[in-house]
Chains A and B, each alone.
Chain A
């Protein structure tokens, strides 16, 4: 599993959702969590981060810069291209997942999700990068 000190970026335009995701992450042992309210702010946080993020968990449907836009930005910037990226989606967006996979998403979780569900996904992501 990820090192608990891994800096994590949580992106969602709903503050309640950010709170939920952050709480689950804390319950999973993560101690270094940053939140961003949309893709643009997330990108700002990524470019300015003193230590690169070791994991990004982003909502899909957000104004201005969606989770998919953010993913594409991350993957095309060589400094951060290799950051593990998890998209949070609603069931309605599942059919769009193909595009996300093509753009290099590592995993996606469907809202609402439990601690166990996120943990399982994160373990898969971690395994992929550890290999």
Chain B
């Protein structure tokens, strides 16, 4: 293979991947609107292009498989075959398989795949050998057929599980009416430059350094009286920083798009009817955050359909429409991206959760919880156990993992629910992980940075405010609420002589506030987060390191992560909570 051929093959794989991003959506739309000519034409053209080009670059297997799919699509295009559920399912498997092949070929250009079965299935449909009525396969033995569906495509099973978020596509995901625009995309593409994320990260790092130097230069310029130059420099650096940050932003659309498929497969398996509304797909977020968003979203959606939505019969009996509605909405709120997943299902029954939690020994028998606290039990690790995990939601992770994942991104998850009316999960994620608004504090004899966003309020500690009891976590009373107090020097450093803890940062986790005693607040500033090294990662809540304006390094401490974990471990906090 010469260099040109290798380059060509990789170019093709990239282009094919972008095409695939749109096609899954198209197949799903086809199922809803099987006689949409424009759509069928677009899908046919996709298969046609994929076949022609894959053959031209020497990927015979993709060409051969796509040839079968193209034949089937031609029959659909010519109204000889009607695109029923079964056919759409097979086409989706085809879509999955092509994706697997593309990923495989990207790693090894000579990779060979087993897609005999799928080709036979496609041929069989064309030959008129299989025309099962819609969803019959699912009704017969839901679980078994679900397994079969997934395992059939081999490696695709993993793809389905992990739902990789392919953010390479710069395409904004449009809904169907704009489908034509999506197809016009090559035009936009031609004006786009593909840059590796690595280089962007280097750029961001350099800009971070630049900002640090700038603050040094700015202060010395100001001192020498040249305030104007100092200001211009400051503004220029801010603009460069904003721009370099924005380069990492991608729309959440592609992560959302995966959900349509999840909803389809899950609802078919469970015999539920689901209408998925996606709102705000164009909302942008840092690529790294977007990549970590896929799994939690998928899990929440599966849960919503499995545990949230009722069966059509139950819904009718409850006076609701047969079709359940799941709405996924993204929008910006301050420095956060908010994703709200709302369903109009049966809601979370707090009382039942309490009973379950007590029977599992998660909470003591005599404990009283508010309705909201009860609902939040779903985030408790070890809450979901094997016997209650169904085929659908049991795949992958529990809600506690969702929560941990979101929190490790510096975000938070909230849930609201009303029995009979539905549930709403609210994910709040920082727009970027690379720069945070930090508060430079002094504690345990050293300077540390904490994320400003985590701090609800700052209070000055007066003598006697903190109640200490032997063997128990000290606490203070804040507006009639009891707040446990932690000391940063427990984990970081020791108090030096003459140093006194007289400021408390109030941090909130779920409905629980806690106070963190520190010595002093130096200032607030934006800091560039450098990921922690392996040695200190996850230790004592270190979320990263940064270089301060004076050139000195500092650790950034994730207070929420560090102390919410401690809080959970300390049972006496519950006792205090009850005393309130």
Q: Which of A37, A61, A90, A111 contacts B190 (CB 8 A)?
A: A37
Interface string of B173-191 (1 = CB under 8 A from A): 0000000100110110110
CB contacts (< 8 Å) of B56 on chain A: these are 16-17, 20, 111-112
Q: Which of A13, A37, A92 contacts B74 (CB 8 A)?
A: A92
Contacts of A58-97 to chain B: CB distance below 8 A: 61-64, 90, 92
- Not counting A15-B11, A16-B11, a sample of 17 additional A-B residue pairs whose C-beta atoms are within 8 angstroms of each other reads A13-B49, A13-B186, A14-B15, A14-B52, A15-B186, A15-B189, A16-B8, A16-B57, A17-B52, A20-B57, A23-B4, A37-B189, A62-B45, A64-B180, A64-B183, A92-B70, A112-B52
Complex Cα–Cα for A38 and B187 (A): 8
CB contacts (< 8 Å) of B45 on chain A: these are 61-63
Q: Is the CB of B187 within 8 A of A41?
A: yes
- Kindly provide the distance from the CB of B170 to the nearest chain A CB, expressed in whole angstroms: 14
Contacts of B1-29 to chain A: CB distance below 8 A: 4, 8, 11-12, 15
Complex Cα–Cα for A90 and B45 (A): 11
Interface string of B360-401 (1 = CB under 8 A from A): 000000000000000000000000000000000000000000
Contacts of A88-124 to chain B: CB distance below 8 A: 90, 92, 111-112
Given contacts A15-B11, A61-B45, contact A37 B187 (CB under 8 A): yes
Contacts of A10-47 to chain B: CB distance below 8 A: 13-17, 19-20, 23, 37-38, 41
- Kindly provide the distance from the CB of A89 to the nearest chain B CB, expressed in whole angstroms: 9
Return the chain B residue nearest A21 by Cβ.
B56
Q: Is the CB of B8 within 8 A of A19?
A: yes
CB contacts (< 8 Å) of A20 on chain B: these are 8, 56-57
11 A-B residue pairs with Cβ-Cβ distance under 8 Å, sorted by A, are A14-B15, A15-B189, A16-B8, A16-B12, A23-B4, A37-B186, A62-B45, A63-B45, A63-B183, A90-B48, A90-B51
B270 part of interface (Cβ distance < 8 Å) = no
Complex Cα–Cα for A64 and B521 (A): 62
Interface string of B54-68 (1 = CB under 8 A from A): 011100000000000
Most B C-beta atoms less than 10 A away, residue of A19, A38, A61: A19
What DSSP secondary structure best describes chain A's contact surface?
Answer: loop
Task: List B residues at the A interface (Cβ < 8 Å).
Answer: 4, 8, 11-12, 15, 42, 45, 48-49, 51-53, 55-57, 70, 74, 180, 183-184, 186-187, 189-190
Q: Is the CB of A63 within 8 A of B15?
A: no
Q: Is the CB of A63 within 8 A of B12?
A: no
Complex Cα–Cα for A90 and B47 (A): 12
Complex Cα–Cα for A114 and B11 (A): 19
Q: Which of A15, A64, A92, A112 contacts B48 (CB 8 A)?
A: A92
Q: Is the CB of B15 within 8 A of A16?
A: yes
Q: Is the CB of A61 within 8 A of B48?
A: yes
> Range of interface residues on chain A?
10 to 19
- Kindly provide the distance from the CB of A67 to the nearest chain B CB, expressed in whole angstroms: 12
CB contacts (< 8 Å) of B190 on chain A: these are 15, 37
Most B C-beta atoms less than 10 A away, residue of A14, A23, A41: A14
Given contacts A19-B11, A92-B48, A92-B74, contact A14 B53 (CB under 8 A): yes
Q: Is the CB of A63 within 8 A of B184?
A: yes
- Kindly provide the distance from the CB of B322 to the nearest chain A CB, expressed in whole angstroms: 37
CB contacts (< 8 Å) of A17 on chain B: these are 49, 52-53, 56
Complex Cα–Cα for A92 and B74 (A): 10
Return the chain A residue nearest B188 by Cβ.
A37
- Kindly provide the distance from the CB of A51 to the nearest chain B CB, expressed in whole angstroms: 22
- Kindly provide the distance from the CB of B475 to the nearest chain A CB, expressed in whole angstroms: 64
Most A C-beta atoms less than 10 A away, residue of B8, B52, B74, B184: B52
Complex Cα–Cα for A15 and B12 (A): 8
Return the chain A residue nearest B179 by Cβ.
A63
Q: Is the CB of A63 within 8 A of B4?
A: no
- Kindly provide the distance from the CB of A35 to the nearest chain B CB, expressed in whole angstroms: 8
CB contacts (< 8 Å) of B187 on chain A: these are 37-38, 41
CB contacts (< 8 Å) of A90 on chain B: these are 48, 51-52
CB contacts (< 8 Å) of B53 on chain A: these are 14, 16-17
Complex Cα–Cα for A20 and B11 (A): 11
CB contacts (< 8 Å) of B57 on chain A: these are 16, 20
CB contacts (< 8 Å) of A14 on chain B: these are 15, 49, 52-53
- Kindly provide the distance from the CB of A16 to the nearest chain B CB, expressed in whole angstroms: 4
CB contacts (< 8 Å) of B42 on chain A: these are 63
Q: Is the CB of B55 within 8 A of A61?
A: no
Q: Is the CB of A111 within 8 A of B184?
A: no
Complex Cα–Cα for A41 and B189 (A): 13
Complex Cα–Cα for A111 and B53 (A): 8
CB contacts (< 8 Å) of A112 on chain B: these are 52, 55-56
Complex Cα–Cα for A32 and B57 (A): 23
- Kindly provide the distance from the CB of A94 to the nearest chain B CB, expressed in whole angstroms: 13
Q: Is the CB of B52 within 8 A of A111?
A: yes
Return the chain A residue nearest B57 by Cβ.
A16
Complex Cα–Cα for A23 and B8 (A): 10
CB contacts (< 8 Å) of B4 on chain A: these are 23
- Kindly provide the distance from the CB of B78 to the nearest chain A CB, expressed in whole angstroms: 12
Complex Cα–Cα for A90 and B180 (A): 23
CB contacts (< 8 Å) of B55 on chain A: these are 111-112
Most A C-beta atoms less than 10 A away, residue of B15, B42, B51, B56: B56
Complex Cα–Cα for A64 and B182 (A): 11
